[in-house]
Structure 1
Amino acid sequence: MLFAFPQVRLRFKEIQRSKEKLTSHVTREEFQEAYCELCTRPDVYFLLVQLSQDRECLDPQDLRLFLETEQGLSLATTEGCWELLKRYEPSAQGRERGLLGLDGFARYLQSPECQLLDPEHLGVCQDMNLPLSHYYISTSYRSYLLDDQVHGRADLGGLTKALQSGCRCLELGITDGPEGEPLLGVVNKYAFLTSQYPLLLYLCHRCSPGQQRTMAHHLKKVFGSRLYKPEALHVSLGGRATTLPSPEQLKGRILIVGKKLPPEEDGSDGEEELGVVLVVPPPSQPRKLTLHKDLSDLVAVVRTSSRSFYAQRGSNKQSQSPPSKDLVQFTKRTLTRVRPSSVRLDSSNPNPQGYWKGGVQLVALNQQTPGAMLDLHRGRFSQNGGCGYVLRPAVMRDAVSYFSAHTHGCVPGVPPQTLRIKVISAHNLPKPQGSGAKGEVIDPYVVLEVHGVPADCAEQRTRTAAQNQDEPMFDETFEFQVNMPELALLRFVVLDDDYIGDDFIGQYSVAFECLQPGYRNVPLLGLAGDPLPHTSLFVHVSFYVREILISVSG
């Protein structure tokens, strides 16, 4: 635990005042008393007392009962509890007697074993041998542009960060010019440092045929054997899902996504429509582009025309809502991509959950723009080791299934669940960035958000803690109904309550399927997704399958 100097000094003064001391000298006994009080977490102490029946320590049998009934470890053994006790109990006497005291219990609850995210998901844990279209793919959109999308300067560091964060599809905007290799060199250097699964390079170019030939030369020279060269059938953004290879088959390979000449065209005179599969809002008339055979031959994923699942332009009731049920069926057989509107000026992001629930595999986001949308993106792709590929729900992969992205009730074949979360406390909360003028006082509260299908979307919050509490106790319980667990994301947001405007302190987003039951530590992240040192929430999580009563009249 971390403490501010004024907090420590105040406690020493209180101790000395209680003993009517006039000197500021601190004795050994006073130091020990203050240390024990400051380092004792009330939430952990009360839990330990409850579990040990007022003995303030746990033996291996108590620990095993706790692991089985609270932490969901049904296979816990007495021998394993002894090992856990020896690992976390700091006192030699406690280890010899087989007793886990308050300090050891607190160390266990703050260890990686008690993180909210199931450690199984820290590595690749899903089947990677299914067709490419069966996966959500982490996708970046113009992440090399700083500031805005019109006048923003390019920075290769944006591409580096996107690749290091696990992005497996990059969009590269290319125009005529002499410089090409430095950009490709950066991509080649960082392509597989975070993930070994295939990298898709989405080429958006306005190049002349001569420059396309130069581009093809650079691609082959820089990427070498990593460049996937289609021999027979080409993967198509408009093709059948069964024709797509798997991520496992394409490990360590770079696939070029772009327009391609028809098979009968062997010259440089072919023309194709320039566009993407799905654009929000729908694009205007596609422009024409003359293709060169050298670049066309390197294209492994064929980009087809744009398609809209929205009301027609010009209508007074144009819909900007998430995709309809037609999109769910469309993505069962088609690898599909959605990107932010090209007419906006800033680098804002759409809500990716609105398109994931429609089955869209490639939801392109500006990775350089922090905020809630990017938080959800990180939460989604953390459920498979951050490799950039996450298996879509079974109802989006099965040829015959009945699922609508707009479902407001139970999903056929999917048992609904109830998620119960008790927010117990928060620890080492920092002051919000840029809040220096507000003094030392913070008034924190916690918002819990569930993102998923419409029936699952919900938001609840705790009360606001008393002033100047960086270690607030909440002890509040919330329930959420989750009809589609495979799509649901849970987001914790800690805010500072202020009459001018509530300031952001920290957040953490996680997929429902990654949750561990029991008493868990929630490590909070800053606005840019970086860990906040020693800052966390302490929660209790439980979930169970809801019973559904169906009455049949006849």
Structure 2
Amino acid sequence: MFISSIAVSGLDFVRQVKFRELICYVVDCWDGPEDDPIVYHGYTLTTKILFRDIIVDAIKPYAFHVSSYPVILSLENHCSEKQQEVLARHLAEVLGEQLYTDPVDENLEFLPSPETLMGKIIVKAKKMKSNLKTSVHEYESSSEEEYDGEMEKPVTTLKEKKTISEGLSNLVNLCQGIHFQDFETSKLTGKCYEMASFSEAKSEKLIATKGVEFVEYNTRQLSRIYPSAKRTSSSNFKPIQFWNVGCQMVALNYQTGKKPVFINEAKFKQNGGCGYILKPEILRDISLNYDPNAIQDDRQVLSPLYQKTLRLEIISGQHIPKPDQEFDGDIVDPYVKVKILGHPQDNQTMKTDVVKDNGFNPRWDCEMKFSVKLPQLAMVHLIVKDDNKNVTLGTYALPFESLTQGYRHVYLMDYTRTFVSPASLFVHVSIIS
């Protein structure tokens, strides 16, 4: 399954938990004053807030506000042993029966269905090994590959032995954080409840060099992708390349929205917006021999039986706004750009002609045809732009397989997924298998 995931911190956390269809919340925990842990993105410019306030004001009241499916609280643990015990105490005292605490069977072959864990909060963190109190704890936000001379390394060393608190370790079961060694080792000894985290840089290298192995790995174990430590302003990467290899949790920074977050939210509107999406068959069945990098040597991605043709007619627009929805300024010269985003062989862009001086009811009557080899992975992104200022006036995106055929009005949004009312496009959609 794909699992809707974010990395948020500070006061924005409460708003994101309350109003988003999210399942995995990544929380950076650090030692705080008066032995009370705090949350913020280390080495970035984000606000600091008490961990307990996150649990009391956001997770407890709003974790199941949108969906009853299980929530994963992914703790990036940078705390001392003493403050880890405080973390564990806050979780147990505040969340109570919502906290999933059943021990995991070490011989478990498959993770339980989300349907069996409704209303439960699962803690993801590193776990103390049997009969051992210490374990090598690697700070995931400061791994070696993130630093190539462009910025100063944090004081923290790459392999610093940290004590894992027994109290916190006892709360970890179905999502046990581990250090990824290689795909061969994972195939031989990995457990379904062990979960590795990969930086965007490391993930990109693995996709480029061992894409097929990465897909296979994600059929057995969970993986989480997190933003580079160089993103001190909490900017974002493009998530689609990681979905293309089946990475379940692609954690974006929600403090800064824009296109990556917009695409992420469009994808997770599927399945009733519950935060879980069943991965397509090509990412679940390795016998299909799906290759995420087939474009590099012109190999056929998969059987042509998957291929579909999208015929999209952009007919007209209604009430297209001026830039930033202002009333003053020049009349816009709108045109529509349509992008297919997905497997590299499917990425393509087409656009209409420009209609001069008409944002009220521009007419394009433009027919576009897109051949899509892997519609299961594809997103369709429509963007209305002003030819004068080259700015986006409105946009909409949805998964290819969520398209409905026939005449449709597409109600435009901005990149915060707020509707730009009453702006819309009038289109006709047909799909040929």
TM-score, structure 1 length as denominator? Answer: 0.65
**Alignment match, 1:488:** 378
Q: 1:503 to 1:308 in 2, by over 3 A?
A: farther
Q: Distance in 2 between matches of 1:218 and 1:478?
A: 55
Preserved CA contact (<8 Å) 1:282 1:307: no
| 1:181-192 to 2 correspondences below 5 Å | 181-185=52-56, 186-192=58-64
Give the C-alpha shift of residue 413 in structure 1.
7.4
**Alignment match, 2:135:** 271
Give the C-alpha shift of residue 233 in structure 1.
2.1
**Alignment match, 1:46:** none
Residue 31 (structure 2) pairs with residue 176 (structure 1): yes
Residue 447 of structure 1: SS of its match in structure 2? Answer: strand
| 1:40-51 to 2 correspondences below 5 Å | none
The one of 453, 464, 472 aligned to 2:354: 464
Answer with 1 or 2: which has the greater Rg: 1
RMSD value, Cα: 2.6
Q: Distance in 2 between matches of 1:343 and 1:325?
A: 28
**Alignment match, 2:220:** 333
Residue 117 of structure 2: SS of its match in structure 1? Answer: coil
* CA deviation map 1:285-321 (0-9, x unaligned): 34332111111000121001145899xx9xxxx8996
The one of 397, 400, 416 aligned to 1:512: 400
Preserved CA contact (<8 Å) 1:277 1:305: no
Residue 486 of structure 1: SS of its match in structure 2? Answer: helix
Structure 2 residue identity aligned to 1:181: R
Q: How many corresponding residue pairs?
A: 383
Residue 428 (structure 2) pairs with residue 540 (structure 1): yes
Q: Distance in 2 between matches of 1:414 and 1:302?
A: 39
**Alignment match, 2:105:** 233
Preserved CA contact (<8 Å) 1:279 1:339: no
Structure 2 residue identity aligned to 1:290: T
Residue 344 (structure 2) pairs with residue 454 (structure 1): yes
Structure 1 residue identity aligned to 2:52: E
Q: 1:413 to 1:231 in 2, by over 3 A?
A: farther
| 1:193-212 to 2 correspondences below 5 Å | 193-212=65-84
Preserved CA contact (<8 Å) 1:337 1:361: yes
Q: Distance in 2 between matches of 1:446 and 1:136?
A: 30
Residue 163 (structure 2) pairs with residue 290 (structure 1): yes
Preserved CA contact (<8 Å) 1:277 1:337: no
Give the C-alpha shift of residue 503 in structure 1.
1.0
Residue 392 of structure 2: SS of its match in structure 1? Answer: strand
Structure 1 residue identity aligned to 2:80: S
Q: 1:228 to 1:520 in 2, by over 3 A?
A: same
Q: Distance in 2 between matches of 1:463 and 1:281?
A: 45
**Alignment match, 1:412:** 303
Q: 1:345 to 1:406 in 2, by over 3 A?
A: same
Preserved CA contact (<8 Å) 2:318 2:359: no
Q: Distance in 2 between matches of 1:330 and 1:380?
A: 22
Preserved CA contact (<8 Å) 1:420 1:478: yes
Q: Distance in 2 between matches of 1:402 and 1:517?
A: 31
Preserved CA contact (<8 Å) 1:367 1:374: yes
Q: Distance in 2 between matches of 1:249 and 1:326?
A: 30
**Alignment match, 2:273:** 386
**Alignment match, 2:409:** 521
Q: Distance in 1 between matches of 2:325 and 2:423?
A: 18
* CA deviation map 1:405-458 (0-9, x unaligned): 123344137521100100001111111118677x23101111100011111110
Q: 1:308 to 1:434 in 2, by over 3 A?
A: farther
Structure 2 residue identity aligned to 1:220: A
More strand by proportion, 1 or 2? 2
Q: 1:506 to 1:357 in 2, by over 3 A?
A: same
* CA deviation map 1:39-76 (0-9, x unaligned): xxxxxxxxxxxxxxxxxxxxxxxxxxxxxxxxxxxxxx
Q: Distance in 2 between matches of 1:347 and 1:308?
A: 28
Q: 1:307 to 1:190 in 2, by over 3 A?
A: farther
Give the C-alpha shift of residue 273 in structure 1.
2.5
The one of 316, 320, 323 aligned to 1:432: 323
* CA deviation map 1:87-137 (0-9, x unaligned): xxxxxxxxxxxxxxxxxxxxxxxxxxxxxxxxxxxxxxxxxxxxxxxx100
Residue 147 (structure 2) pairs with residue 256 (structure 1): no
Q: Distance in 1 between matches of 2:210 and 2:364?
A: 38
Q: Distance in 2 between matches of 1:373 and 1:436?
A: 28
Structure 1 residue identity aligned to 2:129: P
Preserved CA contact (<8 Å) 2:207 2:214: no
The one of 531, 535, 538 aligned to 2:419: 531
Residue 262 of structure 1: SS of its match in structure 2? Answer: coil
Residue ranges of structure 1 left out of the alignment (5+ in a row): 1-134, 145-153, 546-554
Residue 380 of structure 2: SS of its match in structure 1? Answer: strand
Residue 369 of structure 1: SS of its match in structure 2? Answer: coil
**Alignment match, 1:355:** 242
Structure 2 residue identity aligned to 1:294: G
Residue 2 (structure 2) pairs with residue 136 (structure 1): yes
Residue 181 (structure 2) pairs with residue 304 (structure 1): no
Residue 15 of structure 2: SS of its match in structure 1? Answer: helix
Preserved CA contact (<8 Å) 1:323 1:405: no
Preserved CA contact (<8 Å) 1:166 1:387: yes
Residue 210 of structure 1: SS of its match in structure 2? Answer: helix
* CA deviation map 1:318-345 (0-9, x unaligned): 8996972221111111101111101222
The one of 423, 440, 458 aligned to 2:314: 423
Residue 538 of structure 1: SS of its match in structure 2? Answer: strand
Preserved CA contact (<8 Å) 1:261 1:272: no
Residue 321 of structure 2: SS of its match in structure 1? Answer: coil
